[in-house]
Structure 1
Amino acid sequence: MTAAQCSRAGCRADAEWQVVWRNPRIHTPDRRKIWAACDEHVAFLRDYLATREFPVQVLRFDEAATS
């Protein structure tokens, strides 16, 4: 299985995190989008979405499988 790559532009690192989010202005509550993130960029991606007041949840890939 190929590891997911970080969603940050220009980053090709393996992702350890899932940044789960939605835009409440256009997505229904059951719709969630997922960005993959490496350790270096997880805070940047989370903060980028939180600044826009989007609901955001950060999970390790192994935690997401059991949630």
Structure 2
Amino acid sequence: MSDTPICSAKGCRVDAVWVLAWNNPKIHTPERRKTWLACDEHREHLSKFLGVRGMLKDVVTLREWESTKPTDAPGPGTPG
């Protein structure tokens, strides 16, 4: 199994390029950030899905996300 992060879109097995940081304000504190990963093809679709629900907080490249997160922080996840 590869350690390369893959897109969170259902059925997609393409390498991730983007991190979509989000939270559900109904259940998460304002500073909490959950993450989905996206390839170039699915970035807009996943962003719109979260955006229309008022949950999308930020979209950054995976490289940028990895360079700014604390070393003990968990990596980006997949949709639940």
Q: Give the structure-1-normalised TM-score.
A: 0.90
Q: 1:56: Cα distance to partner? A: 2.4
5 Å-filtered alignment, 1:6-21, equals 6-21=7-22
Q: 2-side partners of 1:41 and 1:21: how far apart?
A: 16
Contiguous gaps of at least 5 residues in structure 1: none
Q: Provide runs of 4+ in structure 1 moved above 4 Å.
A: none
Contiguous gaps of at least 5 residues in structure 2: 70-80
Among all aligned residue pairs of Structure 1 and Structure 2, give the percentage whose two residues are the same amino acid.
45
Aligned residues: 67
RMSD: 1.4
Q: 1-side partners of 2:47 and 2:56: how far apart?
A: 10
Q: Give the structure-2-normalised TM-score.
A: 0.77
